[in-house]
Structure 1
């Protein structure tokens, strides 16, 4: 007998992951359910359609016209896969852990929003604009998560795998904590299970860099050799020491790191890309003084309109 098609999860076609699931409101009469779709459709996520993934390499590789929006969807997909795989080892390592749907939803939403604070020209913008305010795009992302989309995050009650427990509420503070890669002196105020999940977003082999290595190489047309993401995820687990990879996964990790290194040498730090950055720098500060002479944290609605 054919199983009914689920109406609370939809699909996005993607050239890297084939299909990306995301939760949508159930079609019951009078339903006002908030789901991942509401976050994806929010102005802050839609803004990423107009932020290029590669700040200047797109002028070297003409097909690299993809955006941070596409990358964020891919990272969300991989974060969900990670969550489902590491959850049993996380539950064995820490006594009190939320439900699997909670952990899955938390990691998926974190990955979806991890780049939401990027400005035009991405990391170039970090180094030559945000740093004057002591900020990075991650700090801006945290502000957006807390103050712009936090009310939506709190209302999400499902992941693609299931429904959160009745007492569970997604906390925007947890999402903000997970995306910041800098050491946080206040880590102790966050639960142990959450701290153990942090390297899945900001570590050496994450949902973020898995997606951008695959996506950037594909969109640039650059051959990087085999990258075995399913094997890497399969051999990843949580132990009392933190995020751990089994020795059987080390060859796959080595292949991934070599592929990432190749991209840095031949795409991200391509000599022409760097030359373009240097030329851009000659006019960048004066231009920003004209179009956006503000600290983004104090002018969020203006920042919403600042794109490539």
Structure 2
């Protein structure tokens, strides 16, 4: 008997279900390639369990996107005002065929949203793609110019427009040449939104699980159940309201929203900005640039999809064992776990006296020991948590920052690190202890501070 519904076991969502159309996307080469793209680059060198891939993450994003769609389009969640707003987009929220089309499109977009990632995800994106290219643009290329387009137009039971998948998968910030209506903007928020995007929900839960840290966990069941479409409060003297709907949360979900944002802070602090994972990423980037002799990754989908973590690791092992291979030094640092060591980081007491304290230490170290032995890396602040609307119990909407002191005071993760070769670490410690006060108090020239 032919199955029309399929399921896979998942450590985060128990079971993930999908239909025959979605299975065709899952079985495609662009999606299967994600089995060989690590979610967290080389973080498994620090957190041994963090070997998960973008394949299962993308399945999880599809699962959550479907759940969110069902909740926010429930008749009990949609006011007449909201229905009227979307009628201007030719979207009838009373028409099940319309809802079925957009739910299917959203779930497929969720499957496709990470197809454009380079080997080892974000590690070398800015160095190995052409100018003005990133993984979102590559994702769009794959959707529009690979077998995905043919599947959407010719092989599924409900024909899906590739342009709709692109819009929902990467959003208006990354597809500025496309015209979005309010409905498309809202659905793209479901996947890539700064506040309640299910991409973020899944990666926090999944990365936390596989890294062995509890910091990324939050009650996503409760959070999703309290999501709804909200319009902003009146902000003019005559009480006129903005008519731009967005993804918000009911008052009962505010605490869970706080937990989501705190999870993000903790995971950035403990995992994504971990100084040792970052130095591995730097060594990896150096290796890729040198091993490929500066050659950029191809942007033609059929060629791009032939490159995964597997090919990179094979080249890396080969280079590590052969000093004549390009990238030997960097490959050996990774394979032999001989990475540069953390020497100096941001210390509040030092920064309060001089905001350039870390850069001062780096410049002095570089001048003393040379660039081969010293490295500087700044992990800039990711910005304050996104503001979002809360639908209060009295049927009014207000911004979360006006209602939550927790959200208002969530710190912004940032780190700045000086790394050195282990061969000079002991000597450098003595040198820093002797000259620390002079280095901290030294004022950089403006152009040096900006480098």
TM-score (norm 2): 0.58
d(CA) in 1 for partners of 2:184, 2:36: 32
Map Cα deviations across residues 238-262 of structure 1 (whole Å, 9 max, x no partner): 2343222222211101101111111
Decide whether aligned partners of structure 1 residues 6 and 193 sit closer, same or farther in structure 2, where only a CA change above 3 A counts. farther
Decide whether aligned partners of structure 1 residues 296 and 37 sit closer, same or farther in structure 2, where only a CA change above 3 A counts. same
Alpha-carbon shift at residue 154 of structure 1 (Å): 2.5
Partner in structure 2 of residue 121 of structure 1:
120
| Kept after mapping to 1: 8 A contact 2:41/2:123 | yes
Alpha-carbon shift at residue 213 of structure 1 (Å): 0.7
Instruction: Find the partner of 2:9 among 13, 16, 27.
Output: 13
Instruction: Find the partner of 2:218 among 223, 227, 237.
Output: 227
d(CA) in 1 for partners of 2:258, 2:301: 41
CA RMSD of superposed structures (Å): 2.2
Larger Rg over CA atoms = 2
5+ residue gaps, structure 1: 25-34, 159-163
Partner in structure 1 of residue 245 of structure 2:
241
Alignment of 1:120-199 (within 5 A): 120-130=119-129, 132-148=130-146, 149-155=148-154, 157=156, 169-181=159-171, 182=173, 184-186=175-177, 189-199=179-189
| Kept after mapping to 1: 8 A contact 2:33/2:305 | yes
Q: Are 1:46 and 2:32 matched, yes or no?
A: yes
What is the DSSP-based 3-state SS (H/G/I as helix, E as strand, rest coil) of the residue aligned with 2:17?
Answer: strand
Count matched residues: 280
Map Cα deviations across residues 97-135 of structure 1 (whole Å, 9 max, x no partner): 2622212111111110100010112111222222x4311
Alpha-carbon shift at residue 79 of structure 1 (Å): 0.6
Partner in structure 2 of residue 30 of structure 1:
none
Decide whether aligned partners of structure 1 residues 263 and 19 sit closer, same or farther in structure 2, where only a CA change above 3 A counts. same
Instruction: Find the partner of 2:51 among 56, 61, 65.
Output: 65
Partner in structure 2 of residue 278 of structure 1:
282
What is the DSSP-based 3-state SS (H/G/I as helix, E as strand, rest coil) of the residue aligned with 1:20?
Answer: strand
d(CA) in 2 for partners of 1:225, 1:141: 27
Partner in structure 2 of residue 210 of structure 1:
201
d(CA) in 1 for partners of 2:12, 2:225: 19
Between 145-154 and 134-143, report the one with greater CA deviation: 145-154
| Kept after mapping to 1: 8 A contact 2:205/2:217 | no
What is the DSSP-based 3-state SS (H/G/I as helix, E as strand, rest coil) of the residue aligned with 1:238?
Answer: strand
Higher helix share: 1
Of structures 1 and 2, the one scoring higher in RCO (CA 8 A, sep 6+) is: 1
